[in-house]
């Protein structure tokens, strides 16, 4: 189980540890050397709570270096900053050490995507790594369910289904299997939509029944779970959403990292709130401009450190087309804060009331190895 330092992976560790004490989890953390203090504190608190070490993963090449991971790679890239288009940071500091750590062994990777989130999240492309999503109604990854619902496997699936559904429910499930779906379609969005509907309708007929049918089917594949006799999460019907995450953290005594807490600000008589929406590097390029302002005002020393990475000719900047020096000019700060107030008011009226949802925006998908 990867512990990013964020709230969701921490809550997942607590939840699974408490609910399934016999499952023997291994926890890991990939330190970039550029996390906020709250992240290191959270890792420490979790270690005490779980009574286990959270293994810090590091690449071989760093063993003989005095540099922290980010600076080591930053220098080897000659000052080329990572960005959403060139995410060498995640590839080198998170995925590479994890894949080296599991070293080809069959591995179940538990991922803390919540039940109120509409996304698939990171899935390792390595065939020995299988992702499981315990907070969602559907614990399986799309690659598994694409095989399960592949018309080529229908006969086999129907045989397994027979052990869990009878009569009307069995017939309804078979009808679902019969609904056409083509995984070779060029229209990926349409296939995903059909798959999503099939998954949701199948789960409506019974979550444990669906999970057990998928589990039996997995035994015909090379997925890591194929070698297990049973899997404790098959009967789990819990769905955990944002409130549950905060409650789990608070009730465990571990608490919510302070940077998630909203802080009020005022600009030209208007009141607004800001916070940081994510764990990960304090200078992460996925953060929104208002989060950069939060960093500048709440951790000015870290902001200054982030500025140092932007070279003098500002060829590489953290925020596209704008340097951190420009971002903190008083007029610009005011403009960003006002824009954030307006956006928050708009979003609150039409969708989520949570500031964190507004801050996370759509960019969270970019790095759930860092932010979960």
Q: Provide the binding-site residues for ligand SF4, judged by CB under 6 A.
A: 32, 82, 87, 89-90, 93, 280-281, 284, 286, 367, 370
Beta carbon nearer to ligand SF4, 211 or 369 = 369
* CA–CA separation, 15 and 29 (whole Å): 18
Q: How far is CA 246 from CA 10, 52, 255, 365, in A?
A: 10, 22, 8, 20
CB of 145 to ligand SF4, least distance (A): 28
CB of 53 to ligand SF4, least distance (A): 22
CB of 323 to ligand SF4, least distance (A): 17
Beta carbon nearer to ligand SF4, 2 or 82 = 82
CB of 34 to ligand SF4, least distance (A): 7
* CA–CA separation, 32 and 366 (whole Å): 17
Beta carbon nearer to ligand SF4, 10 or 214 = 10
CA angle in degrees (0–180, nearest 5) for 129-235-131: 15
In this structure, what token pair is assigned to residue 179? 């609904």
Beta carbon nearer to ligand SF4, 50 or 275 = 275
Question: First-to-last CA distance in the chain?
Answer: 11
Which candidate, 68, 51, 1, places its Cα nearest to that of 305? 68
DSSP state of 23: S
Residue whose C-beta lies closest to ligand SF4: 280
Beta carbon nearer to ligand SF4, 228 or 365 = 365
- Residue whose tokens read 């996390």: 35
Residues near 67 by Cβ (< 8 Å), separated by ≥ 6?
33, 75
CB of 61 to ligand SF4, least distance (A): 17
Beta carbon nearer to ligand SF4, 254 or 306 = 306
Q: Widest CA span of the chain, in angstroms?
A: 72
CB of 30 to ligand SF4, least distance (A): 8
């Amino acid at each position: 189980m990867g512990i990013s330092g964020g709230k969701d992976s921490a809550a997942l560790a607590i939840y699974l540890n408490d609910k399934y004490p016999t499952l023997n989890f291994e926890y890991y953390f990939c330190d970039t050397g550029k996390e906020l203090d709250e992240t290191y504190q959270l890792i420490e608190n979790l270690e005490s709570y779980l009574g286990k070490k959270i293994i810090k993963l590091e690449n071989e090449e760093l063993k003989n270096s005095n540099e922290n991971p980010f600076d080591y790679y930053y220098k080897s890239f000659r000052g080329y900053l990572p960005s959403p288009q060139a995410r060498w940071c995640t590839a080198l500091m998170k995925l590479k050490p994890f894949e080296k750590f599991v070293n080809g062994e069959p591995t179940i990777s538990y991922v803390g995507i919540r039940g109120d989130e509409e996304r698939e999240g990171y899935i390792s492309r390595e065939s020995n790594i299988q992702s499981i999503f315990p907070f969602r109604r559907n614990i399986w990854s799309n690659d598994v369910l694409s095989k399960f619902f592949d018309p080529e496997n229908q006969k086999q699936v129907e045989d397994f289904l027979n052990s869990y559904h009878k009569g009307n429910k069995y017939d309804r499930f078979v009808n679902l299997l019969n609904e056409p779906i083509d995984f070779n379609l060029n229209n990926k969005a349409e296939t995903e939509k059909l798959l999503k509907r099939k998954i949701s309708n199948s789960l409506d007929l019974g979550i444990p029944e669906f999970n057990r049918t998928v589990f039996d089917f997995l035994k015909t594949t090379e997925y890591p779970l194929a070698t297990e006799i049973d899997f404790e999460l098959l009967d789990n019907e819990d769905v955990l959403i944002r409130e549950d995450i905060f409650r789990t953290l608070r009730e465990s005594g571990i608490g919510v990292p302070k940077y998630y807490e909203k802080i009020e600000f005022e600009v030209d008589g208007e009141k607004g709130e800001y916070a940081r929406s994510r764990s990960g590097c304090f200078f992460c390029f996925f953060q929104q401009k208002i989060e950069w302002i939060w960093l500048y005002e709440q951790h000015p020393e870290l902001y200054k450190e982030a500025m140092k990475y932007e070279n003098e000719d500002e060829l590489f900047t953290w925020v596209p087309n704008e340097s951190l020096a420009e971002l903190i000019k008083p007029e610009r700060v005011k403009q960003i804060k006002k824009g954030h107030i307006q956006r928050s008011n708009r979003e609150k009226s039409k969708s989520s009331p949570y500031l964190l949802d507004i801050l996370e925006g759509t960019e969270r998908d970019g790095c759930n190895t860092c932010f979960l």
